[in-house]
Amino acid sequence: MLDTPKGLRIHIGLFGRRNAGKSSLANALTHQHISIVSDVPGTTTDPVEKACELAPIGPVVFIDTAGIDDVGELGRARVERSKTVLEWVDLALIVASAQGLENNDREIAADAKHLGTPAILVLNKADLAGGAPSAEVLSDAESLWLPIVITDARTERGVDALRTAIIKIVQDDTEPDRPIAGDLAHAGDTVVLVTPIDSGAPKGRLILPQVQAIRELLDAHAKVVVVQQDRVAEAINELKVNPAFVMTDSQAIDDVAAQTPDNIPLTTFSLQMAYAKSDLIELARGAAALSHLKDGDKVLICETCSHHPQKDDIGRLKIPRWLREKTKVNLTIDVAVGKDFPDDLRPYKVLIQCGGCVVTRRHMLMRLRRAKAQGVPMTNYGIAICCLRGYLERVLSCHPEALSAYRQALAKEA
Same domain assignment for residues 58 and 199: no
Same domain (yes/no): 81, 43: yes
pTM above 0.95, yes or no: no
Same domain, 208 and 285: no
321 contacts 349 by C-beta, under 8 angstroms: no
User: Is there a domain that residue 125 lies in?
Assistant: yes
Q: Are 159 and 14 found together in one domain?
A: yes
pLDDT at residue number 1: 40
Model pLDDT, residue 260: 97
Look at residue 183 and tell me if it is in a domain: no
Instruction: Note the pLDDT tens digit of each residue in 76-97.
Output: 788 888 888 999 999 999 999 9
Q: Would 179 be classed as within a structural domain? A: no
pLDDT of residue 70: 79
Within this chain, do residues 203 and 135 fall inside the same structural domain, yes or no? Answer: no
DSSP H stretches of helix in 65-152? 72-88, 103-115, 135-142
CATH number of the domain within which 134 lies:
3.40.50.300
| Residue in 359, 366, 370, 364 with CA at minimum distance from that of residue 11 | 359
* DSSP E strand stretches across 152-297: 190-194, 223-227, 245-248, 266-268
Same domain, 43 and 160: yes
Best CA proximity match to 254, nearest among 185, 324, 309, 318: 318
Confidence check: pLDDT of 37 > 60: no
pLDDT confidence of 305, banded at 50, 70, 90?
confident
Write the pLDDT tens digit of every residue in 270-300: 999 999 999 999 999 999 999 999 999 999 9
* Average pLDDT, integer, range 336-361: 88
Structure-model confidence comparison of residues 44 and 141, the more confident one: 141
Per-residue pLDDT, 36: 42
* Of residues 352, 298, 293, the one with CA closest to residue 328: 293
Over residues 18-39, the mean pLDDT reads 74
How high is the mean pLDDT of the chain? 88
Residues 102 and 218 in one domain: no
Highest-scoring range by mean pLDDT, 9-23, 64-78, 190-204, 391-405: 391-405
Task: For residue 208, name the pLDDT band (cuts at 50, 70, 90).
Answer: confident
Q: What is the pLDDT of residue 296?
A: 95
Q: How many domains does the chain have?
A: 3
Q: How far apart are CA 95 and CA 92, in angstroms?
A: 9
Amino acid letter, residue 124: N
Where residue 206 sits, what CATH number does that domain have?
3.40.50.11420
State the residue range of the domain holding 242: 190-271
- Asked if the model's pLDDT at residue 41 lies above 60, the reply is no
Does residue 107 register a pLDDT over 80?
yes
Indicate if 45 and 105 belong to the same structural domain.
Answer: yes
Q: Are residues 27 and 164 in the same domain?
A: yes
pLDDT in tens, 155-200: 899 999 999 999 999 988 877 778 888 689 999 999 999 998 765 6
